[in-house]
Amino acid sequence: MPEGNAPAQVIAGRYELLEELSHGGMGDVWRAYDTVLDRPVAVKRIRQQSITSPSLAEEFAKRFQREARITARIQHLGVPQVYDAVLDDTHERLFLVMELVDGVPLSAYIDPKRPLPVSWAAAVAAQVATVLSHAHDVPVIHRDLKPGNILVARDGTVKVLDFGIAAILRTDVTKLTATGSPIGTYQYMSPEQVRGGRITPQTDLYALGCVLYELLGGRLVFEAESEYLLMYQHVNAAPTPLRELRTDVPADLESLVLDLLLKAPEARPADTQEVYTRLLPFLPAPGHEPEAGEAGPVGVPDPTALFRRPYAPRSRAQAPAAAPNAPGGPDGIAPPAPLAPSLADVRANIDEAYEHFNALLEEERFSQAVEVLGEAIEPAARALGSENKQVLGLRRNRAAIRLLGGDYRAALPEFEALADVYARVSGPSSKPARECRAQAARCRAELGQVTDALAELQGVLAVVRSVDGDVSVEAVELRHDIGMLLLAQGRAAEARQILEPLHEDLCMVLGPDDEMTVEIAEALALIRLDLDGPAS
Residues known to be catalytic? 144
CA distance 433 to 452: 17
DSSP string, 118-165: HHHHHHHHHHHHHHHHHHHHTT---S--SGGGEEEETTS-EEE--TTH
DSSP codes of every residue in 243-296: HHH-TTS-HHHHHHHHHHT-SSGGGS-SSHHHHHHHHGGGSPPTTPPPPGGG--
- Among residues 135, 155, 151, the alpha carbon closest in space to that of 143 is found at 135
d(CA 515, CA 341): 48
Q: Are 276 and 134 in contact (CB under 8 A)?
A: no
232 with 188: CB under 8 angstroms? Answer: no
Which of 127, 146, 123 lies closest to 79, judged by CA? 127
CA distance 455 to 467: 19
Secondary structure (DSSP) of 295-358:
---TTS--TTGGGGS---PPPPPPPPPPPPSS-SSTTSPPPPPPPPPPHHHHHHHHHHHHHHHH
At residue 198, what is the residue type?
R
Backbone angles phi, psi at 100, to 5 degrees: -85, 125
State the angle between helix axes of 431-446 and 408-426 in degrees (0 to 180), rounded to the nearest 10: 160
Q: Are 63 and 171 in contact (CB under 8 A)?
A: no
Alpha carbons 379 and 340: distance in angstroms, whole number: 9
Contacts of 238 (CB under 8 A, 6+ apart): none
Q: Say which amino acid occupies 472.
A: S
Q: Are the C-beta atoms of residues 501 and 473 closer than 8 Å to each other?
A: no
Of 401, 395, 385, the C-alpha closest to 416 is: 395
Q: Are strands 82-87 and 39-46 parallel, antiparallel or unpaired?
A: unpaired
| Cβ contact 25:48 at 8 Å | no
- Asked whether 443 and 406 are in contact (CB, 8 A), the reply is no
Taking Cα atoms as reference points, which of 221, 192, 256 lies closest to residue 489? 192
Give the integer Cα–Cα distance in Å for 110 and 116: 7
